[in-house]
Structure formats: C-alpha cells, structure tokens
Amino acid sequence: MADLMNTQNQDKKEEIKEFEEEVVPNVTNIKSQETFLLPSKGLFYTNQNMKSITLRRMTVKEDKIRLRNDGEDKIRKNLLQACTIGEGIDIGQLTLFDVNYLLFCLRRISLLNNIYKVRCYCPHCEAEFIDEVDLSKLKIKYAEEGNLPNFDIILPISKIKIKLKYPSLNNTIMLRENIIEYLKMNADEEVGELLYELGDIIYIDKVNGGSMITEELEDFIDNLDIVDLRAIKDGIKKLDGQYGIDDDILCKCPNCKKDVHHGLPITGELFSPSL
C-alpha cells in the first residue's frame, strides 16, 4: 500500500514538474531585447538603419493588438512597430519576408519557447499529425550584395521596361484596403479577377523608368498584351521564396514513417500555443 502511495506521489510529482516546465519556461538569462539581422540585410531599403532591427519582448499591451479587428497585415505591422527599439524605423517599409522573419523572432524572445506546432497532413497515408518545429533551428536565406535577383524586365511585345520590387508590408495593407473598398462599390465583381492584376501591381516599381500611382498601374496592366503580362508574372515568380525563413520543412510521418514536407504558416499558434 505504501509502495502504491509512493508511486502515485511520484507520478503526481512528475506530472506537476512537466506542467511547470510547460507553463513556466526556464526563466534564467532572459534577454529583454535582441537585435536581428534582416534576411534582406537592408539591401532593398533606402533607409540605412534598416539592416537589422532590435525588438524588445512583448507585454500584455502588445498582446492585445493581436485581438484587434484589423487585417492580419495591419496587426503584424502594429505589433512589430510597438516592439521595435530605435528611431526612424518604419516596419511598414519592410518586405514581407523580413516581416515574417521578425514575427518568428518576436515569438521566440517573447514566449521563451522555441517549439512551434504545425498541423500536417501526410500525402502518403493520409494521416493527420502535428510536427513540432524548433524555431531556433530554422534556416534563414539572406540576401547577398552582388547576387541580387533580376528586377529588370523588358516586355517581349511592347518592349516596355519594367522594374520590379519586393512589395512592402505597407503595399499589402493598401492592397487589402483597396480591395475591400472596391468590393463595397462593385458588389458583383469577382475577387479573383481583381487579384489577377492587383496582386502584380504591388511588385511593380517603375515603368520605363517612371513611377505610377495605383490607378495608373491598373490602367497600364489592363491594356497590356497578355504575353507581356505573362512576362511580368514570370519575373515576379522568380522573386518569391528567395529570401527569409526557409519554409520548406521536412519531417517524418509518425504513422507511415515516410518523409513529409510542410510549410510554416503563421497561425494563432504563433503567439498563443494551444495544440
């Protein structure tokens, strides 16, 4: 009987220990702030101070920003801006891959927990499982001066010179607001049709060396030859996935033991792990 009590006590103690480890991470050596070299290394920005960004840990005040009824992009901007230390840094000017990288950095320093749980689906045996990704072991693809992607395209039919760019967070926030506004006024318009050109517009920096406002760009794209538009879309495709967190993650299906690739979606799990 005494033995049994002991075993039960032991179990209980272990349970409590596990629980404590889960909820209260190792709280020694907490860094209140940390500086992160951006995957872009600032090479796509005019502001020289935007090579690396110093973030401080989130407080409850910032955690509440996540609950606002804003678009995802706007929430990310406000959240990162609030935790950014240093003058003259506008998070809205960062490329999306820099923003995503910083979000994962903020999660790491704020939650003191490097495990990110991603829901996976095995294409071999159709099992659903959760992969625990260690955020401290992610591979980051950095831009290198002298080996930057090709931003210049000459359109095959019209011979117009296009300079592409990486869209900024501000660009996508504006895109979202434009779409919402547009759909309010044109309720029967197809969203797909709208995204067909608006999604490309945010990647266009210059047309024949000059800048255009969104309305001019819409007009410009509308009147393009479809072969020319295809050339723009191809150029954009080559820019995507070059830099930032390498989100092609390999794990083993616990059911059939075969290799499964998955991405790194930003979900509610990032700042409120629950799985």
Residues that bind Zn ion (CB under 5 A): 122, 124-125, 127, 253, 255-256
- Smallest separation (angstroms) from Zn ion to the CB of 251: 10
CA dihedral 181, 187, 193, 194 (to 10 degrees): 0
Residue 16 or 256: the one with the smaller Cβ distance to Zn ion is 256
Alpha-carbon span 130 to 62, nearest angstrom: 28
- Smallest separation (angstroms) from Zn ion to the CB of 67: 36
CA 181 to chain centre: 24
Alpha carbon distances (Å) from 133 to 29, 115, 136, 145, 170: 23, 6, 9, 30, 29
Residue 58 or 260: the one with the smaller Cβ distance to Zn ion is 260
Coil, helix or strand for 198?
helix
Q: Are 143 and 41 in contact (CB under 8 A)?
A: yes
Handedness of CA 137, 60, 30, 56 (dihedral sign): positive
User: In the 8-state DSSP scheme, what is residue 122?
Assistant: -
Residue 122 or 164: the one with the smaller Cβ distance to Zn ion is 122
Alpha-carbon span 50 to 201, nearest angstrom: 24
Residue 14 or 259: the one with the smaller Cβ distance to Zn ion is 259
Residue 256 or 275: the one with the smaller Cβ distance to Zn ion is 256
- Smallest separation (angstroms) from Zn ion to the CB of 264: 20
- Smallest separation (angstroms) from Zn ion to the CB of 255: 4
Residue 120 or 201: the one with the smaller Cβ distance to Zn ion is 120
- Smallest separation (angstroms) from Zn ion to the CB of 134: 21
- Smallest separation (angstroms) from Zn ion to the CB of 130: 13
Alpha-carbon span 7 to 170, nearest angstrom: 59
- Smallest separation (angstroms) from Zn ion to the CB of 266: 25
Q: Which two tokens stand for residue 20?
A: 């404590």
Task: Please name the helix (run of DSSP H) or strand (run of DSSP E) that holds residue 108, with its range, or none.
Answer: helix 96-111
Residue 53 or 253: the one with the smaller Cβ distance to Zn ion is 253
Nearest one of 163, 167, 144 to 154, comparing CA atoms = 163
CA angle 94, 96, 99 (to 5 degrees): 65
